[in-house]
Every structure is written in C-alpha cells, then in structure tokens.
Structure 1
C-alpha cells in the first residue's frame, strides 16, 4: 500500500464528472490522507463539477463549456476553489504540474489537455483512448520527450500491463484483449439493424458514458483498443487479437514466446485498474467485489463475428494500414455515434459512415500518420467534415 507517512501526491482529474472520473473521485476520497487535488476538469455539468471540487478540496476547477463558466463561478463563490471556463482553461488546468493526472476526457476533445499534462511530466493515467488512436505516433513521442510515465486505465490494457510482469515486449508472442460482446452479442443481424439508442446503451457488464457504451455495442471500442495497445506496448498489430469473453473476468492475456500464458483477472469494476495506476508502483485498497471463481463457475470464449459487428474489422484494417487511417476512423466514428444517439441514423449506419469516410479520405487527405499532435487535430477536423458529407442519412438507410 502507498504509505501515508510521506508527502501527499498531488493529482489532477481530467473528466472528473464522467464515469471514470467518478470512480477516481471515489478512490481519492477513500485515500484522502494520501492525495491532494490540484485541479478538476469537467465538460458541461457545472453543478456536478462544483460539488466534487468542494468535496475534495480542489484548488481549481475548469469546465470546457464556456457558457457554464458563470454558473461554475457562482457555485464556487466563497469556497476557495478557483473557477475557469473554456477549452483553453481546460488545457491550462491540465498543464499545472502535479504528480499524477487522470486523463479521462472522452473523444478527441481530450487530446489537447492530455498532451498538456504529458508535456509537464509526471504520471499520466490514460483512459482517453482517442489520444492514442488519433495521434498515436506523435503522442508517444511527446511522452518520451517529456519523460512522462504513461499508465493505461482501460481494464484490458491495464490487465496486459500487469500480466507482462515486467517482461519486455520481445518476450511476447501475442497479446489478447477480451470483449464482453456488448448488449447485442446474441442478437441476429436483422435485430441489430433495428436497434435503438436505448437498446445499445444497456451494456450487460459495465456502467460507462454514452459514447463508449455505443462503441462497445458496435465492438468499435475493442477495435480502438487494439490501436491503443499497439502504441502503448509498441507491439505490431499482427500480434494483437480479440476474443469475446461474456463473463468479463479475464481482461487481457499475454502469450509469451515460450508458450506460457498469463492473464489479468478482476471483477468488472473500474476502480481496480484506476487504483493500480493511482498507487503505482504500490497497491491501494479498493472496495471492489473480489473475484469468486467458484461462483462464476465457468469461463467461455467466442471469436468475434465481424459480419454482425463490422466496426471491429474496420478498426483492425485501419491499424494494419497505418498512416492516417486510425485518425480518420476515429473521427468518422465519433460523428456517426453522435448521429445515432440523436436518432438521425440507424445502428448499422455507424459502420457505413466510417467505411465511406475512410474511402473518401484516401483520396483527399494526407496518407501519412500525423507528425505532430497539432497535425492530428487538423486531420481529425477534416475527417469529421468528410464524414458529415455522407448525410442525409436516407442514403444509408436505403442500402
């Protein structure tokens, strides 16, 4: 356990009002004698951000939505918590030197503040997979240049990190990510095509934000995680695999070149991987339910069905293609998921929009991987514009 005798670690939480942020806040409260909160960052919910900032005694709070700035300042008036608003305020909060940062802002919007956190060094616990998907090569170069420590928070990548046991990647033959299969694992293609947002948001295992829950339903989330693993562990895409494991007890497996296999197991509670990064290299206690193998009874595994879940195949193809493909894929997916949640397109229009955007971008956008984070942000912007050109949605529904 992290010793409470030494000085407290300073922390910042980017995405403090989201699901990962909420789990992080819970652990910080449970170990308040070991951590002090420098900054909390939220998206649009001023009331939730202010409440958490006061509860944790944060020095500052920043909200991305500038329109919520006045409300945040009003709520924090007299609390001693400094308030600010707007995208630049978020980046400024992320850039304040601390020992540990949770990077949990969903989507490409998390790229700039996460890079700001990386550039000032320290430990960055990353739950914003889009940083590595949008700008993996450039992002990892930033990590190396700053001498920052990057620790994965996604349960799968955290499990892989622990299963490695300190071994180098040269000792590894393959890495396997597990997927729960999402809410549509047993649905036929026709039923999946007719799925509504409320159907896709009923994840059988995890409680997450809307965007990542939809990605889990399409299996795009698992595809993005393949790209993420490629960058985190510097492993070739051909050595990465996905298996469906409905019990969500095994999160990742490492097969070594001698044939030995190690696996990372835990109950499906995000506080487990978060605590691993928060206490690293030591261990923090969590209230997570302990894994009961007897109660589970059995583990089952299935190959993912790419016919019913084409997003996984699109993501794997983007990973193997390299260059700008992953950036385009992510941008198009974010556009499509937002449209689906707004009930403007159908569920299977998501992969259609992504595939069409990849095809169009191949002739209109740079093919090389973004050399800088700024290049990645610009490529993301252009890819979104191309994805939006694929509307009206009627042309997809007719297919």
Structure 2
C-alpha cells in the first residue's frame, strides 16, 4: 500500500524525541492521527485471549479502537491465540475464551463491517513470514528486548522460544497487512522498533517491500485493579466486562482504600483512592479531582457508593448488547470468518511479494 502521509509533529514527551532532540514523526497521538488524514492509515492491534476483558481494556484499548473506527481509520484486530502459550503451559478453554473476547469487542462497539477481527491460527501466511523475518534479527537483539524480559519475569517460567521470538511474531502481524500504525504504550515501543528494523533490513536486502510502521502512542489512563496493583485478566482484581451488576458492586465494595477520612486525588501518595476516583470519573464523564472535591469528607464508603453506581450505569448498555449478541450461537464464528478472509487476503498477497523479492518463486 502507498506510504502514509504523516503530519509534522513535535515531541510531547521524551519518548517521542530522538536522542538529539529532533521530533519523531513515526510516533503519533490519537488526536494527531484523527486531525490529519485518518484514511491514510491502517492500524494493526490485538490481544492475547488469556482471559476475560475488563474495564481497563474498555477505557484504554477498546476506546481507542472505537474512535479509530468512527473516524474511518482502517483497523485490524488480531486475537493472538497462538501466543497464549508463549509464557504458560496450558491455554485453557481457548475457543471459549476467544468467544468471550470477541463478544466483548462487539459489545464495546467494534463493528465487523468496519473493523477486521481475526485469529492468528486462521491466517497461515502470517506465520510463514516468521521464517525470513527471523533471519534478519540476532538472538542478542531478541534477548535484550525489555518487554520480553518483563513478560518472562511476570510468568516466573523459563524463557520459551516462542516468547523470545514474540517481537518477530508481532512484526509478522503488522507487516503481513502492511500496517502503518500500531497502538502501543511507552513500554511496548521496543517491540515496534524491532518491527521497523525488520522492515528496514528486508528492504535493504531484497528491495523495497515494506513501509516502516509508526507508533500510535496511547494516552489511555492506567486503571489499577481493586487491590491497587495492575488490573489483570488472571489476577482476581479486575472488573470484567461480562460480569453482572452484582459482581461489579461486590468487586468495588472490596476495593482497597486507606485510613484517611477525607477523599483527595493524589495518585502518587494515595494510589488506591486515586484509582477509585479515576474509575468513577471515567464512568461518569468527569475529572477525578472534581469527584474528589464532591466526596470530600464523605470517606471511602461514600466514594465506593458513587463509583459503584456510576460504573454499573456506564456498563449497563454494553452488557445488554453483550447479552443480546450471545444469544446468536453463530455471531462470533461469522465475525472471525469474515475477518480471516480479509486478513488472509492481505497476508497471502504480502507473502507472495516477499517470496518474489527473495526469488523463491518462478
């Protein structure tokens, strides 16, 4: 596909600047993408189906995807089922988990008529691209990737070959569909930099095939779990999108706070209270500081009541849509089939181009 026309941006944070201070036009914000030419971009993003999605996803990645879709940015979402076993031995009920994740996507507003949703296992060409891409990176480069190190440390297991090569698999995802932007946080930029490196090295060795994708830098709020640590699918501290109102209320009643009576928004000093204020503000369309001022000396009990009411009300339409969608046993199958056809068409064409460039075809 033609090279995207990227706006001339200026660095808003250190991560968006070269070491010499020059701006990095390969790192964009959502506002910059939407304000320029949304149709010039193709976004590749995705999730590992390791458990139910939660409100952290809703206010973060899902909100970004819905905004991209609404503004006409072509968005492709991969449900990375092959990557589930990167840091674990048992994938669990993988088909069931995939179904739940896709239902969450649809309930949150992703439209399969506008957004492509597919599973890794349904598009073999993506994985065939791994072989030439692996030849373009060294073991040392993979071994020092900080995101891989963090994932391996969190798993508590020996580093698997699949996890070690995960950044190359991600590169295959992005480059197979000629993605121009990849949504990511600052901690994921090394993954994307390796994708850019692979594209650059392939072009240098075999001729111009790939554009170097840019980063769509996420400014999504960091939502903590009910225990004050990172909200996670498998940590028992998440507010799941598929849960009912009673389960949501129970989770928030048990959320950790502190002993101070007056509610203040101080994320560094009072992270648990600040997180509840953030959740309530996101659900009610307010600012955490405004909510803190309103609760004041009402204490943690008043704060939890407010957050519970706001969150239950905010999630009610999503959960109603989800319940309706789940009544159709074929809805997820149809969405994934349509997505696999689109992603497969793109990836197959890319693989043919790669093989021709490498002179592997007549």
TM-score by length of structure 1 reads 0.29
Structure whose residues are more often strand by fraction: 1
Higher Cα Rg: structure 1 or 2?
2
TM-score by length of structure 2 reads 0.31
